[in-house]
Every structure is written in structure tokens, then in C-alpha cells.
């Protein structure tokens, strides 16, 4: 049980710095890459083998596990990776449509705001549509809500 909790804490440390859906997708790709490599015999540590093949988040994560001697042995690496993939599957994705190209800082700020208010890890998928003028359109768990200025103007026009 302790091991499971430790593993979850470990997984969380990997996704702590992730706030965008495409970052999460990249980590999933990295897991597939590492899974494919895990069956090949290579020289040196796993981190050195994957350094040029995966993203920096995954590389640093594997490197930290190696340094702390927490990286599972080759025999159970596959199980570990599938557990990690399952953990990532459980992370919620919120699609946010905005009228401008959001900076990375702003994306992070919004993701953190959502995490704080939802009480769990989420990643945001930002889409840009200038037609909404301003504001936001949210899609979350099959729900869709339009908080855009375009919708606001349309509602007011309809009431005229």
C-alpha cells in the first residue's frame, strides 16, 4: 500500500509542471517510446538511452528516479510504465476556446486556477477562435458553456 502511495506521489511529480493537453499527449508518446525501448538491451542507464528520444519532462523524471534508486528493475519497468499511463488517463482535460493566442504563462495561470477550484489535477486544451470576440467557451465532461462576448452580443441583439 505504501508502495502504491509512493508511486502516485512519484507520478504526480511528473505531471506537476504540466498544464496543457498537448504536454500530456507528449508524455503519453514518451511512455510508448520508453516501453518500446525497455525490451532492447542497451548500454548505460535508461535515462541516457532516452535522453534524445523523449521530452525534457520525461527525461528529468526518469533521471530523478534513477538518482533516488526508485526506478523499477527492467523486469517490472513495463508494469511501472503501464501504471503511469493509467494515471495519466485519469487526468481531466478541459477545452477552453478563447479569442486570442494565450501565452504559456497565462495558460499555466488558468490551469492552476482550475486545479485550485476543482481540487484535482487538470490539463487545459486551448483553442483559438477570433469569432467569439472575447471571453471563453468551456467544454468539460461533455458539458458546453458559452461565456463569450459574441454570445453576449447575440443575446442582447435577440432581446432588442
Partner 1 sequence: MVTLLALTLALNIILAFLVLIAILKIAKIPLVKKPESAKNAKLTKKLEIRLEGEVEKLIAAAGRRIDAKLAEYFQTLVDDAARKGTELAAFIEKAQGAIVKETQFLVARDIAKLQEDLQKYRSDKYARIDQQVKDMVYEIAKQVLGKAIDVSTHEDLVKAALERAKKENLLENAKR
Which residues of the chain form contacts with partner 1 (CB under 8 A)? 96, 98-100, 102-103, 106, 110, 113-114, 117-120, 130-131, 133-136, 138, 140-141, 143, 145, 147-150, 153-154, 157-158, 160
Between 37 and 136, name the residue whose CB sits nearer to partner 1: 136
Confirm if 33 and 50 have CB atoms less than 8 A apart. Answer: yes
Residue 65 dihedral angles phi and psi, to the nearest 5°: -65, -40
Between 70 and 149, name the residue whose CB sits nearer to partner 1: 149
Between 77 and 140, name the residue whose CB sits nearer to partner 1: 140
In angstroms, give the least distance from the CB of 148 to partner 1: 8
In angstroms, give the least distance from the CB of 88 to partner 1: 16
Between 62 and 110, name the residue whose CB sits nearer to partner 1: 110
Instruction: Say how far apart CA 19 and CA 125 lie, in whole Å.
Output: 9
Q: Taking phi first (over 0 means left), then psi (-120 to 50 degrees means alpha), and beta for anything else, what does residue 58 get?
A: alpha
In angstroms, give the least distance from the CB of 150 to partner 1: 6
Instruction: Say how far apart CA 134 and CA 103 lie, in whole Å.
Output: 15
Instruction: Say how far apart CA 48 and CA 39 lie, in whole Å.
Output: 16
In angstroms, give the least distance from the CB of 145 to partner 1: 5
> Residue 30 burial by CB count (10 A; 0-12/13-18/19+): exposed, middle or buried?
buried
Which three cell numbers mark 83? 501504471
Gap between the terminal Cα atoms of the chain: 63
In angstroms, give the least distance from the CB of 113 to partner 1: 6
Between 79 and 100, name the residue whose CB sits nearer to partner 1: 100
Amino acid at each position: 500500500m505504501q508502495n502504491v502511495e509512493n508511486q502516485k506521489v512519484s507520478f504526480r511529480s511528473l505531471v506537476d509542471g504540466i498544464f496543457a493537453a498537448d504536454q500530456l499527449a507528449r508524455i503519453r508518446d514518451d511512455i510508448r517510446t520508453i516501453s518500446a525501448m525497455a525490451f532492447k538491451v542497451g548500454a548505460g542507464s535508461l535515462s541516457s538511452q532516452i535522453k534524445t528520444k523523449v521530452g525534457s519532462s520525461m527525461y528529468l523524471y526518469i533521471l530523478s528516479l534513477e538518482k533516488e534508486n526508485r526506478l523499477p528493475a527492467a523486469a517490472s519497468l513495463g508494469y511501472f510504465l503501464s501504471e503511469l499511463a493509467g494515471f495519466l488517463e485519469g487526468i481531466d482535460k478541459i477545452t477552453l476556446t478563447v479569442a486570442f493566442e494565450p501565452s504559456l504563462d497565462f495558460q499555466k495561470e488558468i490551469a492552476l486556477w482550475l486545479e485550485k477550484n476543482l481540487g484535482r489535477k487538470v490539463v487545459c486544451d486551448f483553442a483559438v477562435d477570433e469569432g467569439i470576440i472575447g471571453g471563453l467557451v468551456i467544454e468539460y465532461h461533455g458539458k458546453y458553456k458559452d461565456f463569450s462576448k459574441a454570445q453576449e452580443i447575440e443575446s442582447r441583439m435577440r432581446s432588442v
